[in-house]
Structure 1
Amino acid sequence: MASETTPKAVLYWFPGSVWASVPRLVATEKGFTDNELERRIVDLGKGENFSPAYLKIHPQGHVPALVVPYEHTLDDGVRTKFKAITTTANVCDFLDRSTNSSSFAAPSLSPATIESSSTSKDLIEHIHQDSIDPNTLLLVWRTEAERKVKASGLPGAFLKGRQEALERYAKEVGNSDPKLKAFYDKKIQENGGLLALLEGKGDASGIEAKAKDLWTNVGKTVELLETKLQPGAAYLLGDQISLADLHCGAWLARVLACAGATSIADVEANLKTFEKNLDGVKVGPKFAAWAQALFERESFKEAYGEDGLH
C-alpha cells in the first residue's frame, strides 16, 4: 500500500471496539506490515473519538476510520492529499483491494463469483443491522441484577468517560461553532440519559424490553448463519476465509462477551454460556464448527487472544 518514501494509510481504531476489530482482522489476514499501514488508537473510553480533531476525520465520531492518500497526489513535488473512509465495510473493502504486503501476495477476501458476492453482501449488511447491534447490547440490560453489574463494570465506566469528555469538549467549543455545539448537546443528552438509567435513576422498562428484543434477534441470527453454512465447509462462503466471516466473526466475539465469555481458548464452553442467553435457541453443529475455525486463525488470536473477547 505504501513504500518507505510514500505516505502511509492510517487506520484509526480502538482495541475494545467491535467494528474496528474487523479491519484489524483484515490487515492481519492480508499481511500488511507497519510500513504499509499505520495504526493509531482512538481511546473510546476517554471519549477521544468526540474530540474536534477526530470529528474532522469521522463526523459521527465512530471507529474505524481509514485515511488514505489520493493516488494522483503521490508524485514527487505534488502536495499529498488525503481522503477518509468512514464505514467498516468500506474500510475493509479498500484494504482487501489494496496492494498486498511487500513480502507476499495475500489471497483476496472478496468472493470471486456473483452468487457468492451477493451472499457476502447480504451477510455483511445483516450483521450490521441495528436490531442486533453489539454495541447497544453491551450497554443495555434485561434485569435489575444485570443493570447493577453493568453499572459497576465496563459499561458504566465507558458511559461516564464519554460523558466527561463530551461535556469538556462542549465547554471548550462554546458557541464558536454552532454545528459542533449542536452535535455535543445531542450526544450529552443521549449518553447522559442512558447513564442515568444505568445508575438506577428513572424508568428503565424500555431499556429492558430493548435488551430482550436484541437477544431474541441475536438468536435468530445464530439460526440464520447455521442455515448459510454448508456441510463440511469451514467458512460462510466455503473453504476460504472471506470478508463476511470477519464481519460476522467480530460480531460473534462481542455477543459472546456480552453473554459472559472472556476468552477464545474454550469455544465449546463459550457457546454453552452463549446459549443460556438465547431464549431456547440452540447453537447448531455447523455454527459451532465455524466459530472454532475462526478462533483458531492467527488473525483472531492476535485480535482476541491477549485482549480477550470484546
Structure 2
Amino acid sequence: MAADNVPKAVLYWFPGSVWASVPRLVASEKKFTSNELEERIVDLGKGENFAPAYLRIHPEGHVPALVVPYEHTLDESIKTKFKALTSTIEVCNFLDQSTNTNPGFSAPSLSPATVQRAAVSKEIIEAIHVDAVDPNAALLVWRSEDERKAKLAGLPGGFLRGRQEALERYAKEVGDSDPRLKEFYARKMQENGGLLALLEGKGDSTAVQEKAKKLWTGIGETLQTLETKFEPNAVYLVGDQISLADLHVGAWLARLLAVAGATSITDVDGNLAKLEQNLDSGVKIGPRVTKWAQALFERDSFAKDVYADGLH
C-alpha cells in the first residue's frame, strides 16, 4: 500500500504556545517529516482553540493536541480510527516512542535507558508542569502597577481581549443547543473576563499580585533545584544525551526568558541575567544551568526549528 494512504498523526499547535513547542522540539530531534507528522496551527490569539470543532479534540481547548491513528486502522470494519492525546507529557512520550522511517537516519530515543535516569527525568518533567511554576501564568499576571500597565499595553492584554471576544462569539453561536458547551463558555468567559478586567485596572488585583510573587519565588526555587540534578560533567539534565527532560525544561525556560524581556535565543548569558532580575533577591542561576542552557539552545531544534523567529 502506498505510504500516502497510511494514516498519520496530526499535531495541533500554536507558534506562541510554550507547551506546544515541546512536541515540535521532539519532532525536530527525531527528524520527523510531514509524511510522518502533520502539523495544524490553532490560533490562540483569535480563540480558535475554543471553536466547537476543536473542543471535540481537546475538551479544555488547550494546545498541544495530537490526533493519532489506532493500530489496524486500515481495517474498514473499525469505526473509530483515531484518538486524541491532550497532555503535553503524553503527546511527547508518544512521539518519542514512534519510529522515524526517514532513510539514512536512525531516530534517537529521548527517554533515558536506565531506571535511575528515567526516574530523574520523570521527576524533572513533572516539577515544571505544576501550577506553582506555570510559565503561562508568568506571562499573564503582574507584581506591580507598572507591570500591570505594561502587560495591558502589550501581548497579554491583546491575548486576553482576543480570547474574550472569541468566547462571546462562540457562546452566542451555540446558544442553548449544547448544554455542555454553554457551561464551558460561561466558565471560560468568567475566568478570562475576570482577569482581563483586573488587568484593565477594574477592581482590586492584590490577589493576582500575590500569586505572581509566589510564582516567581517558585520559579527561582525550581532553577536552584535543577542546579543540583546534573551528574558530574554531564552536558544535559540526565546525562550526556539529550532527553525529553531537556526539551520540556528548555521550552519552560524559553518562555520565562521571553517574559523577562529576552527576545533572541542566541544571547544566553544576557537572557539569563534578565531572568535573574525577576527572581527573589539573592537568587542566582547556577553555572550548571547556564552551561546546560548554552548547549541546549545551540541545537538546531531550538535555534533553527522552534525559536528561530524569537523566544515565546
Query: TM-score normalised by the shorter chain: which range applies?
Result: over 0.9
**1:60-113 superposed Cα distances (whole Å, 9 cap, x missing partner):** 101000001111212478667110011000000000001113222111000111
- The answer for the alignment partner of 1:293 in structure 2 is 295
The question of whether the paired residues in 2 share the 8 Å contact of 1:229 and 1:237 is answered with yes
The question of whether the paired residues in 1 share the 8 Å contact of 2:302 and 2:308 is answered with no
**1:30-81 superposed Cα distances (whole Å, 9 cap, x missing partner):** 0100111000000000000010000000001010000011112124786671
| Matches for 1:2-81 after TM superposition, within 5 Å | 3-75=3-75, 81=81
The question of whether the paired residues in 2 share the 8 Å contact of 1:197 and 1:204 is answered with yes
**1:195-249 superposed Cα distances (whole Å, 9 cap, x missing partner):** 0000111000111111011000000011011000123211000100000000010
- The answer for the alignment partner of 1:181 in structure 2 is 182
- TM-score, length of structure 2 as denominator length: 0.96
Partners of 1:95 and 1:231 in 2: CA distance: 29
- The answer for the alignment partner of 1:160 in structure 2 is 161
User: Could you tell me which amino acid in structure 2 is paired with residue 252 of structure 1?
Assistant: L
Partners of 1:305 and 1:90 in 2: CA distance: 22
| Matches for 1:114-263 after TM superposition, within 5 Å | 114-263=115-264
The question of whether the paired residues in 2 share the 8 Å contact of 1:233 and 1:239 is answered with yes
What is the Cα deviation at residue 29 of structure 1?
A: 0.3
Partners of 1:83 and 1:36 in 2: CA distance: 16
Query: How well do the aligned residues superpose, as a CA RMSD in angstroms?
Result: 1.4
Partners of 1:281 and 1:77 in 2: CA distance: 60
User: Could you tell me which amino acid in structure 2 is paired with residue 285 of structure 1?
Assistant: P
What is the Cα deviation at residue 301 of structure 1?
A: 1.2
Partners of 1:303 and 1:255 in 2: CA distance: 19
Partners of 2:227 and 2:15 in 1: CA distance: 28
How many residues align structurally?
Answer: 309
Q: For residues 70 and 133 of structure 1, do their structure 2 counterparts lie closer, same or farther at Cα, with a shift above 3 Å needed?
A: same
**1:123-149 superposed Cα distances (whole Å, 9 cap, x missing partner):** 111010000000111000011001011
Query: SS state of the match for residue 67, structure 2?
Result: strand
Partners of 1:76 and 1:200 in 2: CA distance: 57
Of residues 227-236 and 190-199 in structure 1, the stretch that sits farther from structure 2 once superposed is 227-236
Task: Structure 1: state its 5+ residue gaps.
Answer: none
User: Could you tell me which amino acid in structure 2 is paired with residue 156 of structure 1?
Assistant: G
User: Could you tell me which amino acid in structure 2 is paired with residue 96 of structure 1?
Assistant: D
What is the Cα deviation at residue 270 of structure 1?
A: 0.5
- The answer for the alignment partner of 1:307 in structure 2 is 309
- TM-score, length of structure 1 as denominator length: 0.97
Partners of 1:44 and 1:50 in 2: CA distance: 8
The question of whether the paired residues in 2 share the 8 Å contact of 1:64 and 1:88 is answered with yes
Partners of 1:220 and 1:80 in 2: CA distance: 45
User: Could you tell me which amino acid in structure 2 is paired with residue 109 of structure 1?
Assistant: L
- The answer for the alignment partner of 1:269 in structure 2 is 270
Percent identity between the two aligned chains: 70
Query: SS state of the match for residue 228, structure 1?
Result: coil
**1:132-169 superposed Cα distances (whole Å, 9 cap, x missing partner):** 00011100001100101100100000000000000000
- The answer for the alignment partner of 1:101 in structure 2 is 101
User: Could you tell me which amino acid in structure 2 is paired with residue 99 of structure 1?
Assistant: T
Of residues 276-285 and 297-306 in structure 1, the stretch that sits farther from structure 2 once superposed is 297-306
What is the Cα deviation at residue 303 of structure 1?
A: 4.2
The question of whether the paired residues in 2 share the 8 Å contact of 1:132 and 1:215 is answered with yes
